Amino acid sequence: EVQLVESGGGLVQPGGSLRLSCAASAFTFSNYWMSWVRQAPGKGLEWVANIKPDGGERYYVDSMKGRFTISRDNAKNSLYLQLNNLRVEDTAVYYCARVWVAAVDSWGQGTLVTVSS
Amino acid sequence: QSALTQPASVSGSPGQSITISCTGTSSDVGGYNYVSWYQQHPGKVPKLMIYDVSNRPSGVSNRFSGSKSGNTAFLTISGLQAEDEADYHCSSFTSSSVVVFGGGTRLTVL
């Protein structure tokens, strides 16, 4: 069974940084586009970014360009999201997601990022 | 990359059918056959119910169906059951090579 396990969330002050990680297992990680999707408390889902299987292409939602960086290490079956210059409105559960034909067919359990002073 | 538009809530009685709409633009829903639908129960992880407008992943009930007309996609649930009560989110691939979600629709089974 596909497993995606996120880590790295926590409480951070506005303007601070965090690095989220996602450990993937039970599938050939290097064959799939991967993504980060977030969900603010009581709100809908929001796509953050996606990355090509070889890491050669990365795409971001406009509102997060320049602050967030998605990356991957296929040798370690791991996906990452660097979050910089965090704002209160970035508070959300961040999900690691496996992408298949522009749909998310597997989700991690999520890691909570709370931005507050 | 504006969010797709979904009704905030819909409701139906057991056994009835309901349809949830998801409206975008020619740069997302209308331009690609990459519309997906997700079911999310409170406190749970979303589950893929429909992909590529109308395809069901293995294991998803055939009571769930998807369609599209122009810039609007639809999710229809027939034979409503109590367990269908959940939030439903649509998404579409966009011309920016990212995916955009709708705001979500709360389905209440009366």
Output the pLDDT for position A20: 98
Output the pLDDT for position B85: 98
φ, ψ of residue B39 to 5 degrees: the values are -105, 135
Residues B72 and B22 sit within 8 Å (Cβ to Cβ): yes
Tell me how far apart the alpha carbons of residues A48 and A36 are, in angstroms, rounded to a whole number: 5
Residues with Cβ < 8 Å from B77, sequence gap 6 or more? Answer: B12, B17, B18, B19, B20, B63, B64, B84, B107
User: What mean pLDDT is predicted for residues B36-52?
Assistant: 97
A 9-38 residues inside an 8 A Cβ radius of B: 35, 37
- The CA distance from B41 to the nearest CA of chain A, in Å, is 12
Nearest to A45 among B89, B97, B98 (CB): B89
Q: Are strands B47-50 and B35-40 parallel, antiparallel or unpaired?
A: antiparallel
Arithmetic mean of pLDDT over chain B: 96
User: What mean pLDDT is predicted for residues B57-86?
Assistant: 97
- State the best of B98, B100, B105, B106 to mutate against chain A, taking most chain A CBs within 10 Å: B98
Residues with Cβ < 8 Å from A117, sequence gap 6 or more? Answer: A13, A14
Give, for all 117 residues of chain A, the pLDDT tens digit: 999 999 999 999 999 999 999 999 999 999 999 999 999 999 999 999 999 999 999 999 988 889 999 999 999 999 999 999 999 999 999 999 999 989 999 999 999 999 999
Share of chain A above pLDDT 70, in %: 100
User: What mean pLDDT is predicted for residues B2-15?
Assistant: 96
Chain A residue with CA closest to B91: the answer is A103
Look at residue B1 and tell me whether its pLDDT is greater than 80. no
Report yes or no: B71 at the A interface, CB cutoff 8 Å.
Answer: no
Output the pLDDT for position B59: 96
Output the pLDDT for position A65: 87
Look at residue B2 and tell me whether its pLDDT is greater than 90. no
- The CA distance from A2 to the nearest CA of chain B, in Å, is 14
Nearest to B45 among A50, A103, A110 (CB): A110
